[in-house]
A and B are shown apart, each in its own frame.
Chain A
Amino acid sequence: MTAKPHLDREHARHLLGQMLRIRLFEERCAELYTQQKIRGFLHLYVGEEANAVGIACALSAADSIVSTYREHGHALARGIAMGPLMAEMYGKANGTSAGRGGSMHVFDRATRFYGGNAIVGGGLPLAVGLGLAEKLRGGAGVAVCLFGEGAVAEGEFHESLNLAALWKLPVLFVCENNLYAMGSAIERTESETAIFRKAESYRVEAHQVDGMDVVAVEVAALGALERIRGGAGPQFLECMTYRFRAHSMFDAQLYRDRAEVERWKERDPIRRFGDWATASGLLHVADIEALREAASAEVDAAVAFAEAGAWEPVEDLCRHTLMDAVPA
């Protein structure tokens, strides 16, 4: 790999700040869920922040993202404003999708964020299509497709890898392997647990990455994107990660040991990067506190934005079911 991030003080602040924004946003979401401000399913990303931030740092504005129902981190890292994101969690009219999607279905045209998709594997064919459009138009953009390792058992994973490789499409497949498909451990669902090997079988260059290390993810993403932009066709990253919280707010976590969770928490990507950055003199403890305070204030403002939002009028219930025109 030739592409490397320039890890100066400003960039370190950015990486840590982004991970803190995601962490604090989601911790507030969990509180708001218990207060019944947020309803439905809420899938938190706590523990996995390094993946979203590392990938997003490597992207350009021309790139597009297809995500899953665990997409708050991806959305924030991509640059979707926190206020509309929180309002979407509430289901308010000032949310990213005017409240129609909720936590699992964040879309944002401005940042080419093609949705949180709540059908496991359902986003992969869309990313192939985004990559195909880019190729047919001769554009420089890459379609980045994020999904969990649970998607690998779906036929759509295999169909999409094959098609993207066959047509040499500019698609970066990023598997966030958090070891559990809801409550099913990977060894209970996969005959081959090294996911990147499946991608290799489609002749797609694939790498396993430490998904608890934001710099490692960024380095891997930069390298993969450089190869894609150079015409190498689709690339695949398997980011080894772990979610610290339950699958959703209804999950009693009977399928994993407390000790296992605690072991992974020792590798918390935020603490780990913060410790490293202070030890190496890139950041001071006070910098980290300032970032935490800024993120906390941003979350407060996002909650206020969501609280102040109006509900969509019931008369607009059916709006956008059929479109009058393709948005410009």
Chain B
Amino acid sequence: MTTTYREAIKQAIRDALNRDERVFLMGEDVGRYGGCYAVTKGLLEEFGEARIRDTPLSESAFVGAGIGAAMAGLRPIVEIMTVNFSLLALDQIVNNAATIPHMSGGQFAVPLVIRMATGAGRQLAAQHSHSLEGWYAHIPGLKIVAPATLEDARGMLWSALEDPNPVLIFEQVNLYNMEAELAADAGAVPLCGAAVRRAGRDLSLVTYGASLHKSLVAAQLLATEGIEAEVIDLRSLRPLDDATIMASLARTRRILVVDEGWRSGGISAEICARVAEQGFYDLDAPPARLCGVEVPIPYPKHLEDAAIPQVETIHAAALELVRPSGRST
């Protein structure tokens, strides 16, 4: 059946609430309002106030309460409206969720799922549009996933709830309205393992989230010019699936990392460093990156568009990597 990314997440949450009585959802405006991005619309009526909990604007308290409830044996899903707001809960995520299993000598697990919107593209300016998932991927003790397809959106939530560790799910805001086919019985999707979304021989486009779809369109354009790009969807930023990246590189010998996040110290830097460490002798060209421009995301559409990777810029960067303009071919 045809459905949306938004609906796929909602069905995943419904499945979880029906399957496991330990699961509950809490966050700002998840109940009466139906969710800032309408993901949870109707769930309050279906499951009631005990399990669909509207919270005050207290990110640190309700994320911390999720950690406490998870330590006590429940399986909370905490929604944070957007990644920028998650910074108000950074203490709980980094100092508690990520440390307590280790710091307690393995006595307590934190089986918590935190979902949040990320990324630019809705003209929401610099306090609602950043892509900080790569930042979170720096933290040992967390698992970081970024589902880019309906199957992953539905199936990763399932796996995240089964996981004994805190899992952060990043949903790029432009994906919510995306329509695609989704099997009615779509099941769990593992939290690790990148996917080859398009096979190719001339270069590897390594990306995740909404940039995946732009990269796939760019790959189609490149194909009309005789260049076959392989497109890798990372799906998980922590852990990173080095093996799939290096196997693709071994086939294509060129790599372009496409990331909405900023270049300096970003996940693209980490991937390029690993390519240099593990795949250096497979490279026919220096590893390349196309990242968010290092500026707070601006409001006007033309500037916002210019601040993050687009089909045209991905196409141009890929072309430059395969047929450098400075060199005759």
Spell out A's residues near B (CB within 8 Å).
Answer: 64, 66, 95-101, 105, 107-109, 114-115, 117, 119, 122, 124-134, 136-137, 143, 155-156, 159-160, 162-163, 166-167, 318-327
Please determine whether A160 and B109 come into contact, CB atoms closer than 8 angstroms: no
Please determine whether A115 and B141 come into contact, CB atoms closer than 8 angstroms: no
Which of A129, A136, A319 is close to B64, meaning CB atoms less than 8 Å apart? A129
In the complex, which residue of chain B has the Cβ closest to the Cβ of A322? Answer: B165
Please determine whether B102 and A156 come into contact, CB atoms closer than 8 angstroms: no
- Beyond A101-B105, A122-B96, A327-B109, is A159–B58 a contact (Cβ under 8 Å)? yes
From 92 to 132 in chain B, residues with beta carbon under 8 angstroms from any chain A beta carbon are 92, 95-96, 100-109, 111
Please determine whether A321 and B102 come into contact, CB atoms closer than 8 angstroms: yes
| Complex Cα–Cα for A117 and B68 (A) | 13
In the complex, which residue of chain A has the Cβ closest to the Cβ of B68? Answer: A129
Which of B61, B76, B164 is close to A323, meaning CB atoms less than 8 Å apart? B164
Please determine whether B64 and A320 come into contact, CB atoms closer than 8 angstroms: no
Please determine whether A126 and B164 come into contact, CB atoms closer than 8 angstroms: no
Please determine whether B106 and A323 come into contact, CB atoms closer than 8 angstroms: yes
Q: Shortest beta-carbon distance, B73 to chain A, in Å? A: 7
Q: Shortest beta-carbon distance, B75 to chain A, in Å? A: 9
Give every chain A residue within 8 A of B63 (Cβ-Cβ): 125
Please determine whether A107 and B107 come into contact, CB atoms closer than 8 angstroms: yes
From 109 to 168 in chain B, residues with beta carbon under 8 angstroms from any chain A beta carbon are 109, 111, 140-141, 143, 164-165
Please determine whether B106 and A327 come into contact, CB atoms closer than 8 angstroms: yes
Q: How extensive is the interface on chain B, given as a class?
A: 35 or more
With contacts A107-B103, A115-B103, A143-B68 known, what are 13 further pairs, Cβ within 8 A?
A: A99-B105, A100-B105, A109-B108, A115-B104, A122-B96, A124-B64, A125-B60, A129-B65, A129-B67, A132-B74, A323-B165, A326-B111, A326-B164
Which 3 A-B residue pairs are closest in the complex by CB-CB distance?
A129-B68, A125-B64, A159-B61
Please determine whether A125 and B107 come into contact, CB atoms closer than 8 angstroms: no
Give every chain A residue within 8 A of B50 (Cβ-Cβ): 136
User: What is the 8 Å Cβ interface bit string for chain B, positions 20-52, against chain A (1 contact, 0 not)?
Assistant: 000010000000000000000000000000110
Please determine whether B67 and A125 come into contact, CB atoms closer than 8 angstroms: yes
Count the A-B residue pairs with Cβ separation under 8 angstroms: how many?
157
Give every chain B residue within 8 A of A130 (Cβ-Cβ): 68-69, 71-72
In the complex, which residue of chain B has the Cβ closest to the Cβ of A320? Answer: B106
Give every chain B residue within 8 A of A119 (Cβ-Cβ): 91, 95-96
- Beyond A114-B68, A129-B65, A130-B72, is A97–B55 a contact (Cβ under 8 Å)? no
Give every chain B residue within 8 A of A321 (Cβ-Cβ): 101-102, 140-141
Q: Shortest beta-carbon distance, A218 to chain B, in Å? A: 26
Say yes or no for B266: interface residue by CB 8 A criterion. Answer: no
In the complex, which residue of chain A has the Cβ closest to the Cβ of B60? Answer: A156
| Complex Cα–Cα for A257 and B120 (A) | 56
Say yes or no for B70: interface residue by CB 8 A criterion. Answer: yes
Which of B24, B64, B74, B106 is close to A126, meaning CB atoms less than 8 Å apart? B64
Which of B53, B56, B70 is close to A162, meaning CB atoms less than 8 Å apart? B56
Give every chain B residue within 8 A of A66 (Cβ-Cβ): 68
Say yes or no for B62: interface residue by CB 8 A criterion. Answer: yes
Please determine whether B68 and A327 come into contact, CB atoms closer than 8 angstroms: no
Say yes or no for B66: interface residue by CB 8 A criterion. Answer: yes
Please determine whether B72 and A134 come into contact, CB atoms closer than 8 angstroms: yes
Give every chain A residue within 8 A of B92 (Cβ-Cβ): 122, 125
In the complex, which residue of chain A has the Cβ closest to the Cβ of B238? Answer: A322
Q: Shortest beta-carbon distance, B296 to chain A, in Å? A: 24
In the complex, which residue of chain B has the Cβ closest to the Cβ of A156? Answer: B60
Which of A64, A99, A320, A327 is close to B72, meaning CB atoms less than 8 Å apart? A64
Give every chain A residue within 8 A of B66 (Cβ-Cβ): 129
- Beyond A128-B68, A134-B72, is A159–B106 a contact (Cβ under 8 Å)? no
Give every chain A residue within 8 A of B100 (Cβ-Cβ): 107, 115
Please determine whether A133 and B61 come into contact, CB atoms closer than 8 angstroms: no
Please determine whether B71 and A114 come into contact, CB atoms closer than 8 angstroms: yes
| Complex Cα–Cα for A322 and B163 (A) | 10
- Beyond A128-B64, A163-B55, is A323–B71 a contact (Cβ under 8 Å)? no
| Complex Cα–Cα for A128 and B101 (A) | 19
A–B Cβ pairs within 8 angstroms, 10 of them = A109-B104, A114-B71, A115-B103, A124-B64, A125-B64, A125-B92, A159-B61, A160-B58, A163-B61, A320-B105
Q: Shortest beta-carbon distance, A152 to chain B, in Å? A: 15
- Beyond A122-B91, A159-B56, is A133–B105 a contact (Cβ under 8 Å)? no
| Complex Cα–Cα for A133 and B110 (A) | 13
Give every chain B residue within 8 A of A99 (Cβ-Cβ): 105
Give every chain A residue within 8 A of B61 (Cβ-Cβ): 124-125, 128, 156, 159-160, 162-163
| Complex Cα–Cα for A287 and B143 (A) | 55
Please determine whether A163 and B105 come into contact, CB atoms closer than 8 angstroms: no
Please determine whether B104 and A107 come into contact, CB atoms closer than 8 angstroms: yes
